[in-house]
Structures are given as structure tokens and as C-alpha cells.
């Protein structure tokens, strides 16, 4: 019993750390990173911004890489509180698979694209890489994260691990995340910005609610 309490206490603080990293990443995206993202600007303006703010641009993407690992860690904590089953493993596998395209896209954004800008690569090539990176992280990686997270949450509901209002909060966060993926697929960047903001707020708060309602029992 004492060992279980200690483990839950460690997980409780770890979830708070993950939530904190995600908050920092979101603030960076809405602040120092915004000029390099495809919202309300041209490709040329974005490439110029990236070169002029390369250090903070690369630092910010490294924080987002930590978010990817943090999200998987949270889902692993959630899965650890569920009964072993095929669907539990499948949900966690979806999240794990999402890490590959997500980190690949973030490496493209953080390091490959800036280096190619310095090499005077054509705007057509840079545009193609930007589109690839956006779809890798925003559509494929994010979609897998949210499918896996939703499956784990549904299992938690079935097992009575979380209360109804907590479950609704979690499902809403994952649904908004999937709407982000659809927006990226449709190249609706204004909608993608909206769903990014709302899904990140809800999912981060849901992590904290889960920590307080489940890990502190």
C-alpha cells in the first residue's frame, strides 16, 4: 500500500510537470513562434522571421518535443490505472505511434528548414517542406495522439475510474484535438489555430483534474 501511494504521488507531480511544460509551449507558440507559423502571413515573411529569430524558434520547438514525450508519459500513467486489455494496449500504441511523425515534423521545423533558408533554398522547396511538416505533426501525429487518448478515456469510463463530468471534459479535449487534425487536412489554418488553443487548454486542465481525482485517491 505504501509503495502504491508513493508511486501515485510521483505520478501526481509528474503530471503537473508535464502540464507546466505544455503551458510554456503554448505561450511560446502564441508569442515568439507566431511569426514563423502559417497564420496571417506569407511564406517569405515566415522564412525571414525564422532566420531573424532562429534561437528562440529552435528552443521553442525543443519544448514542443518535450510535450510529445510528456503526452505519451501521461497516457502511459492513464493506461497504468486501467485493467490490462487489448484495447488499452491499442490506445497506448496509437499515442506512441504519434510520436514518430510529430518529432519528425518538429525536427524539420526547428533545424532542417532554418538550415535550408541559410543555404538559399528556393521558396518552392521550403513551402513543400513546411506543408509536409505541418501535416506530419498537425494531422498524423496529433490525430494518433487523440485517437489513442480517446480510446484510453473511454476504457476509463467503462471501468468506472473517472466520474462523468471528468469523462466529459476528457472526451471534449480529445474531440477538439481531432478537429484540429481535420482542419489541417482541409488547410483551414484559422480553424486549426482555434482548435489548437481550445484543445490544449482543455487537455492540459484535464490532465490536472485526472491527477487530483485519480492519482490522489
Q: Which domain holds residue 151?
A: 2-215
Write down the pLDDT at residue 216. Answer: 80
State the Cα torsion 171-173-178-182 to the nearest 10°: 130
Residues 83, 161 contacting (CB under 8 angstroms): no
The residues, any chain, with a CB within 8 Å of residue 148's CB and separated by 6 or more, are 75, 90, 91, 92, 93, 94, 95, 96, 97, 98
| Residue in the structure block whose three cell numbers are 503551458 | 23
Q: Which three cell numbers stand for residue 162?
A: 473517472
Please count the other Cβ atoms lying within 10 Å of the Cβ belonging to residue 150.
Answer: 19
Residues counted in the chain: 217
Query: Each residue of 139-148: pLDDT tens digit?
Result: 999 999 999 9
Residue 48 near residue 72 (C-beta atoms within 8 A): no
Question: What's the pLDDT tens digit per position in 157-187?
Answer: 999 998 878 888 889 999 999 999 999 999 9
User: Which stretches in the chain have pLDDT values below 70?
Assistant: 1-5, 217
What the block records as the C-alpha cell of 117 is 533558408
Angle at 40 between CA 39 and CA 45, to 5 degrees: 90
Q: What is the pLDDT, as a whole number, of residue 1?
A: 56
Question: Cell numbers at residue 32, please?
Answer: 515568439
Please count the other Cβ atoms lying within 10 Å of the Cβ belonging to residue 72. 19
CA–CA distances in Å: residue 63 to residues 33, 106, 151, 201: 12, 10, 26, 17
Contact 149, 174 (CB under 8 A): yes
Task: Domain count for the chain, please give it.
Answer: 1
Give the number of other CB atoms < 10 A from CB of residue 115.
11
The C-alpha atoms of residue 147 and residue 178 are separated, in whole angstroms, by: 8
How far is CA 119 from each of CA 51, 64, 112, 125, 155, rounded to the nearest angstrom? 11, 25, 11, 12, 50
| 8 A C-beta contact, residue 123 and residue 131 | no
Q: What is the pLDDT of residue 99?
A: 97
pLDDT of amino acid 3: 61
pLDDT computed for residue 4 by the predictor:
64
Amino acid at each position: 500500500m505504501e509503495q502504491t501511494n508513493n508511486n501515485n504521488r510521483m505520478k501526481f507531480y509528474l503530471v503537473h510537470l508535464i502540464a507546466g511544460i505544455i503551458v510554456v509551449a503554448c505561450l511560446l507558440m502564441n508569442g515568439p513562434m507566431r511569426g514563423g507559423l502559417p497564420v496571417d502571413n506569407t511564406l517569405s515573411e515566415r522564412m525571414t522571421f525564422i532566420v531573424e529569430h532562429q534561437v528562440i524558434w529552435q528552443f521553442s520547438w525543443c519544448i514542443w518535443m518535450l510535450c510529445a514525450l510528456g503526452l505519451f508519459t501521461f497516457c502511459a500513467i492513464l493506461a497504468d490505472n486501467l485493467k490490462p486489455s487489448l484495447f488499452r494496449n491499442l490506445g497506448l500504441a496509437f499515442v506512441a505511434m504519434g510520436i514518430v511523425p510529430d518529432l519528425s515534423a518538429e525536427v524539420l521545423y526547428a533545424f532542417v528548414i532554418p538550415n535550408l533558408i541559410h543555404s538559399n533554398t528556393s521558396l518552392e522547396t521550403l513551402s513543400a517542406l513546411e506543408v509536409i511538416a505541418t501535416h506530419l505533426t498537425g494531422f498524423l501525429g496529433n490525430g494518433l495522439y487523440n485517437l489513442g487518448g480517446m480510446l484510453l478515456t473511454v476504457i476509463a469510463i467503462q471501468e468506472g475510474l473517472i466520474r462523468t463530468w471528468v469523462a466529459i471534459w476528457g472526451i471534449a479535449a480529445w474531440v477538439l484535438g481531432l478537429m484540429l487534425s481535420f482542419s489541417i487536412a482541409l488547410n483551414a489554418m484559422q480553424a486549426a489555430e482555434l482548435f489548437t488553443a481550445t484543445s490544449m487548454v482543455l487537455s492540459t486542465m484535464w490532465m490536472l483534474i485526472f491527477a487530483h481525482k485519480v492519482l490522489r485517491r
